[in-house]
Amino acid sequence: MKKKLPILFIIFSTLFFVACNSTNKQEAFIEKEKYDGPAEIDLLEFEKTKDPLLNSVPMERLWSAMNYTQALKQNFSYDGVTSIWEERGPIFDSVGPSNNNSRGGPSGFTGAYTSGRIRGFLVDAADTSGNTIFCGGVNGGIWKCTNFMSATNAPNWVQVNDFLSNMSIVSFCQNPANNDIIYVSTGEANNNSDAVRGNGIFKSIDHGATWTHLSATAGMRRSFKIVCDNAGNLYYATSGSGLLRSLDGGGSFASITPTGAGTICTDIEISSTGRLHASFGFGGTSITYKYTTSPSTVTTSTWSSGSGIRPSGATARRFEIATLGDVIYGVTTNSSNDVDSCYKSTNGGKNWSLINNTALPNIANTQGWYDLSLAVNPNNSNEIICGGVDAYLSSNAGETFNRLTYWVGNGNYVHADHHQTRWWNGGGNNPKMIIASDGGLYYSNNNGNSFVDKNKNLGIKQFYSCAIHPNLTNYFLGGAQDNGVHQLKNSGLSYSTEVTGGDGAFVDIDNDQPQYQFGSYVYNNYRRSSNGGNTWSSFSFSSSTGSFINPWDYDDTQNIILGANTNNDFFRWTDPQTAASAAGATTSVVTLTELSGKVTAVSVSPYKTGRAFFGSNNGNIVKVENSKTTNGSGGSDVQELNSPLNGVYTSCIAIGTNDSNLLAVYSNYGISSLFITNNMGNTWTDIEGNLPDMPVRWAVFHPTINNAIVIGTEAGVFTTTNVNGASTVWTPSPGFPLVRVDMLKLRKSDNCIIAATHGRGMWASNILNILPLKKITLNGKLELNDKTLLSWTMVDATNNVKYNVEYSEDGVKFNNIAKFGNETYAFNHSLKTDIGYYRVMGYEPNKAPIYSNTIVLRSIKNIKGISINILPNPIKNNGRILVSSTISGTYLWRITNIQGNILQSGKSVLQNGLVENLLFNSTKLNAGMYVLNIIQNNQTKSISFIKE
């Protein structure tokens, strides 16, 4: 839960560390040992991504890059192939034996499940059972669950829209006048270094199935909250543009910020009486509270002021509000960002009374700028919950507070850093409650007496790094934001083990002695396992050197760690396998005067022992020989390469088939991000090509070809198979979500490639699927009687190549319909559905398969005069088939899965001009996609539908 403070805030007092220095507590509370200041902020996301000319981060360019990427993906005939990425998760987790994290959890697992940071969720008002919940990851898109209240089944979370994976989902609201209209605001308002920026508001008019960006909010990067009044008017609390209102469903917005209130609106609430309450001020010297009884018509000058908040001359940094009719509560934070006062109004905000400013526990722990929530019991106006690092309950209107949840230690577990608390009646005497935190969603059905996590199947972990085991096929490590180092050991989409806690930074596994595995916490603090990842030990060298998420690399040959330290030097740990403790370890700092600035990228050569490359936050790259023994500058061991750029952030140095072939990767906006050399840096060539202006964070070469490269960008994975200077064509991987990719790693023994995303977990593939050495081009056309004529050509085909023709009714699940040797390059197929998807797979022994482009062919001859529909679609319980025709006669209907297996069928008779209304039992269908076929006179008409 350790957070990076904004520039306006002071460094956290070291008193907390002194108070937590016991052996048992140090590991559990290590996240709170130190908070960073302005320098660390600059060295993280701002420094990594800012446009050097503007000295700011132009997030609107990311929106353009995402649209560009999505357009390329939707073009089936792009000059590439269908890549095969498999999501690996984790979709739930357990806690390892060395973690010292005592979170209670489900049977069979140590520790409640966590997912990732969630700032906003929505309890669907259209579902009176409370089972339908929408939530959003801060960099993982919008998700939906339809069995949230189930006590026996895991929540069935489904990703609603991967296109929004790169948008930070912050707040939801639903139009009370039309529940099909839902809004979501994007962009974390807080200025922590790992905050994810957004682009205003998105709107759905079909109950969350599809989303449209509200152009009037373009460029709005930071959001606190959105709400709708009973008439459906929209109110938008922003950081930077104050409070905005839309009276036309988001088509246009006008500022209703009270005069003199400032441009940061931190909280808005609409009470059941129709009053709009708003608070302003954040991290500055004062806060402002206003209310209005006429939200839809209030102007900047017609707000009412509440009296009694803060003594004259006193200041506050934030004011959080909760309402129950005319009873209003508010809590304030002080200059140390701690909750210091609780106020109450019983007349709708007109007059306030100070309830408590002396008996408040350490609710926010100096993080009130980051995590602060407030909620009031719908059945008892004297009961409130204030959330910060943990949740605290007051049963006497704020006079005293008692700890309700525990992120560490023995108690009612909810992950640290609470961002939203929803408390609603739900029937009975035990109101329901959901808390959104840095670890996901936690639910109570007994008024907060106990909580259960609702994070299984919610794949929104934010990874900074990844590593691949050299021998174990499905063994990976990853460092996760605020969720420690995770160990994945299962095939497919599965769970992970959190082997160490706190923030998880860079990770690595010894390639020839994989029993030695390494993780890291912030700065130069490391974790080691010497028994294959079963148990882990801590080696805390420094919480002031290096960067917050510190770059380092492990040398498999020399068994040493090389990492960032301060300006013009690097950190060296020469006995990471054998050191018994940090105090007894052999470490040193090596000077690099040739390196301008601070190390931001480290790559150990796999070809020459002792050689390593270092990149800096000033763009330059140096080569170091004898890295285990060198004294650094002043000798022949250090050489500055002719770096391609200055004044930019080096995010990665990729090494090709030898040390002469290097790729310099830069992550700033407004620059060329990729430069390649084949002479170890004597000359460089810009290969940005057709990439949009966005950060590029990592790259790997094809294991045998330097012209084939995979890169991790702010909009997913891109590839090229033909490096060609400024004409290089980069293709997005169509099977990969539009999400930020922080790191890529390749295992050359089987060509496995893994991607660590910051918001959608880990994804794996085979690099030969992503970067094929050969190419199949498929062409097709449809003739009379719906006969498809398919033909294909292949580049560099050998006599061993065989071909499978694959067909799909939905473009997702493909089935093999024909096999051929290398003598055949054509096939005829009878299309019996409205639409068909075709592709060809070429394969030969001991090599990865190669896929052609996918083509789409639509039927030109269907059942004349007939139309069909499925209602509703998606289906929850029973479904209806609507069939109409201008021709009378008998017809057959059948429901198949996407593999073509018949699950249900029937027969009926159509009457000319009438609509046939048939019921079928969808409760016997599992969640998934299905196809309805109507057959008449040996002809078929089809439609697909989804069962939730």
856-892 pLDDT, tens digit per residue, is 776 654 445 667 777 776 777 677 777 776 667 787 8
Residues 357-382, mean pLDDT to the nearest whole number: 92
Higher-confidence residue of 903 and 562: namely 562
Q: What token pair was written down for 757?
A: 């995303």
Alpha helices by DSSP H, listed for 520-580, are none
pLDDT of residue 6: 41
The answer to whether the CB of 50 falls within 8 A of the CB of 668 is yes
Q: Are 488 and 476 in contact (CB under 8 A)?
A: yes
Rg of the chain, C-alpha, whole Å: 29
Residue 41 has pLDDT above 50, yes or no: no
Read off the pLDDT of residues 304-317 as tens digits, 9 standing for 90 and up: 999 999 865 567 88
Average pLDDT, the chain: 85
Beta strand spans in 128-264 (E): 133-137, 142-145, 158-161, 169-174, 182-186, 201-204, 212-213, 223-228, 234-238, 243-246, 254-255
Q: Which two tokens stand for residue 443?
A: 């639910």
Q: Cα separation of 923 and 487, whole Å?
A: 37
Beta strand 496-500 pairing with 93-95: parallel
Highest-confidence segment of 70-74, 166-170, 237-241? 237-241
pLDDT tens digits for range 104-161: 544 444 567 888 889 999 999 999 899 999 999 888 899 999 999 999 999 999 999 8
Q: In whole angstroms, what is the distance from residue 619 CA to residue 438 CA?
A: 33
Distance of CA 815 to the CA centre of its chain: 32
* For the chain, counts of helices (H) and of strands (E): 6, 72
More confident residue, 906 or 185: 185
Strand order in the sheet with 826-830: 775-783, 787-795, 826-830
pLDDT digits (tens, 9 = 90+) for 197-233: 788 999 999 999 889 999 999 888 889 999 999 999 9
- The pair of structure tokens assigned to 646 is 């200055």
pTM: 0.77
Flag the least confident range among 592-596, 618-622, 790-794.
Answer: 790-794
Q: Cα-Cα-Cα-Cα dihedral of 779, 782, 783, 787, to 10°?
A: 100
Contacts of 729 (CB under 8 A, 6+ apart): 79, 689, 690, 720, 722
| Alpha carbon distance 15, 22 (integer Å) | 14
Distance CA 856, CA 836 (A): 6
pLDDT at 318 over 80: yes
* Exposed/middle/buried for residue 107 (C-beta within 10 Å: 0-12, 13-18, 19+): exposed
CA-based nearest residue to 202, from 224, 218, 184, 220: 184
pLDDT on residue 913: 62
Q: Which amino acid is at 521?
A: Y
Token pair recorded at residue 481: 């934001």
Whole-angstrom CA distances from 219 to 42, 70, 184, 261, 269 are 22, 19, 15, 22, 24
pLDDT per residue as tens digits for the range 328-337: 999 999 988 8
Say which residues have a Cβ less than 8 Å from residue 504's Cβ, sequence separation at least 6: 463, 464, 465, 478, 479, 480, 481, 483, 484, 485, 486, 519, 520, 521
In the block, tokens 């700033």 appear at 668
pLDDT of amino acid 864: 54
pLDDT class of 25 with cuts at 50, 70, 90: very low
**3-class DSSP state of 816:** strand
